Structures are given as C-alpha cells and as structure tokens.
Amino acid sequence: MSDDPIRENQRELQQETDATVEATAKQVDNAQLQINDAGAPVVRKSKTQGQIIWEQFRRHKSALVGGWILVFMYLTAIFAGFLAPYGLNEYRRSPTAAFRPPTQVHWVDPDTGRLTRPFVYDVVETRDPITRQRVYEEDTSTKYPIKFFVRRPSQPYKILGIFKSDLRLFGVDDPARIFLWGTNNLGKDVFSRVLYGGQVSLTVGILAVWVSLFLGLLLGGLAGFYGGLLDDFIMRLVEVFAAIPGLFLLIVLASLLRDPRNPLAQAFGLQMTSSQTYVLIVLVLGLVGWGGLARIIRGFILSARELDYAAAAKALGASEARVLWRHLLPSTASYVIVNLTLAIPGYILGETSLSFLGLGPSEVDTSSWGLLLRDATARGISIQFVPWLLIPGIPIFLAVLCWNLLGDGLRDAFDPKKRR
C-alpha cells in the first residue's frame, strides 16, 4: 500500500513529461520552411522553453496587470522617503493636527476662476455645536502653493538603507500642512506612514518565502532522495512544526523577550527592538510555512529518482549530492516558483495580523500596514468620523490580490497541458 502514492506520483510526473515533449514536438512540427532569395529552404528557429513560457504568461492579462501593480508598489516602498512629504515620526504638536481629514488640493484660483498652480489652505479647528465633534475649516486668507522637489534637512532618510537624502517629491511651506490621506490621533500623516509601512509589510513576505524555500528544498530533498529513517524523522518534524501555531509561538517569544519586567529579560538583558521583532516575524512565518513545501518536494524526488535521467547520471559516476542538487531538485523549479508566489500573500496577511494585535514592530521607530489599521480601533475613536484611518486596508487588499493573480498566471504558464 505504501508504494501506491509513489507509483501515482511517478505516473503524474511521466504524464507531465510526455505533455512537455508533445508540446515541444508541436513547436518543431509547426516550424514552417521559408525560402530565401537564393531559393534555398530556411528553417525557422524553434522557440526556447523560456520563450514558450513567456508567451503563455502574456496571455494571462490579469496576471500581467497584477505583476505591474506589484512592481509599482515595491518601487513606492523603496522610494518611500522621497515620495512621502513627511518623515516617519514627524508630527505637529498641535491639537488641530490630530484626526485632521484629507487636505483638499485646489486647482482653480477662486479670484480669477482659472486653472492655476495647485495650492492648499491652512485649517482652523471649530466644534460642531450639536455633536461637539471637531470640524476643520479652511482659512482662505492665505494660499500655500504646493512645491515640488523640496529639501527638508530636518527629516533625512535613506534609500535601501544606503543612500542618504533629504529631497522630497512635494511639500508646502509652514504653517500649512498637506495631508493627502488625513492624520491619526498623534497628527502623523497617514499617506507618509502607508508608504513607509510598505517597506515592512511587503518585504516580510519575500524574506519569509526564502526561509521556507531553503528549508523545504533541503529537508524535502533529503527525505525523498535517501528515504528510510531520515525520511521518517523529517516527516515527523514537518508534522511537529505544522502543529505549532505561529501566532502562539510569536506571543510566547514576544512576552519573554520584549517585556522588561520578565525575569528572563532582566537576567539576559534581552529587550527586542523593532528590527529584532521584524526578523523574528520573518523566521516564525518561514519556519511554520516550510512543511507543506517539503512534503511536495519529497513526493517529486521520490518519483524522479527512479527515472532514466537520474539512473543515467548515477551510471556516469555522478555523486549522490550532484544527482540530487544538479538533476532532481531543478526539475521541481516550476512548482516551487508557483508555490512560493502563492505563499507570499499568506505571509503578508500574517505580518499584518501580528502587527494589528500589537506583536509586530514598534510604532515608535517603524511602521507597517497592520499598525496603521490598529489606529482605527484605538479607544475613543469612532470610525464613522475618521474613515480615512481605514485607507491602509487598500494596499493590503491590492498586494494580496495581485500576488494571487501573478501566481495563477505563472501556474498556467508553467503547465504544459495548457499551452496552445
């Protein structure tokens, strides 16, 4: 009975191999003979495997759109300091800065009625006589034009942690402020913090995937290739990690290492910074998520190690390590790429959930989309009066949706049965 799954995997792998060979044969058969000026036949060059995959992927329009949106989002995260008008923790120490609604940008001069350089007004705070809620009204006595490529030496930033600069894409002169997406309870610009938050929320998925990839390929490959006791041990290890909730594990570690009142933290001086918490989240998400990949890789290796090309490599004197890493694991590349692409949205949601619960990086020196959504649930806040605090949910939705669309497109592109 134990050999049935292996034989089934062998049959599936052989079917995929046959489908690939058939698709390649069609490409060769469809290569039409052309006649040059001298009357000699010229065979059109056949397409490479990469070209075939790219042509198939381009037919998936939603995947292309999702891919370009992701490129845009990651570029905005890289250049967040340049695009954001204010620094990460910059806020105005004024009661009128808290919960300020999005600033209205004016394009028409009220005096002449003609289009003009975009400008904003400063605002003054009043109280609604009935609801007693804050009401912000524009002070139209002075116009503050929006300036582009402005210098802010008091709020420098680094691009990729290397290149230091103080150049901002746009800004306005004091005392006016431009808050495109409003402010939170501390008067911090939501638009700027969403841009900075992408540096954490978007990169967590990428880094956690690399942790899962390394462990999944290493342990899954070893289990499938050598089998026996090593296979049993690794599979039991997979089951143990699958049984540990990542959220519970992170709660335990955070309580031990972040609370200065904890005896362990006092004894060893372990107080986690935001960077350490970020690394911890990446490791926990990666450690919890590698088991599924390892199981699939094991199934692929169990089937592929009995095929002719693996036996031929052994007959030619290749070592076991070379057969595994040079011949067997590369055959799983298409599945691994698709699997990891579809796993990234889960990691992004995992980090967002942890930050929303207060287990992510500290709000003092960093930002993430989960932390920004947490502001909307703070005590004493009625979301109907400050709906702009829910704006960080939009990039979360877009990132998860686009990664799923991209993964679906790659899955169809690598599938030889769906090639036309």
Q: What is the pLDDT of residues 281-321, one digit of tens each?
A: 888 888 888 888 888 888 888 887 777 777 787 777 777 77
List, for residues 18-30, the tens digit of each pLDDT value: 666 565 555 544 4
Which residue blocks in 46-110 are alpha helix, DSSP H? 49-58, 61-78, 80-83
Q: Is the pLDDT of residue 400 over 90?
A: yes
* Tokens encoding 42: 């010229």
Among residues 211, 229, 231, 233, the alpha carbon closest in space to that of 297 is found at 231
Give the span between the Cα atoms of 389 and 175, in whole angstroms: 24
Q: What angle do CA 55, 56, 57 make, to 5 degrees?
A: 90
Sign of the CA dihedral with 403 first, then 407, 413, and 418 last? negative
Least confident of 39-43, 242-246, 398-402: 39-43
- What 276-279 contacts at long range (C-beta under 8 Å, 24+ apart), as own/partner pairs, is 277/359, 277/360, 277/361, 277/362, 278/200, 278/204, 278/360, 278/361, 278/366
Question: What is the enclosing helix (H) or strand (E) of 331?
Answer: none
**Between the CA of residue 155 and those of 13, 81, 152, 190, 257, what are the distances in Å?**
57, 9, 6, 17, 31
Question: What is the value of pTM for the model shown?
Answer: 0.78
> Which residue type sits at 213?
L
| Mean pLDDT value across residues 239-258 | 70
β-bridge pairing 147-151 and 167-171: antiparallel
| Residue 330 banded pLDDT, cuts 50, 70, 90 | confident
Domains annotated for the chain, with CATH where assigned, are 62-78+194-418 (1.10.3720.10), 85-188 (no CATH)
**Between the CA of residue 52 and those of 44, 48, 113, 413, what are the distances in Å?**
15, 6, 56, 8
Q: Is the pLDDT of residue 398 over 90?
A: yes
Tokens 């290149």 belong to which residue?
163
Q: Residue 31: its pLDDT value, please? A: 46
Q: Is the pLDDT of residue 402 over 90?
A: yes
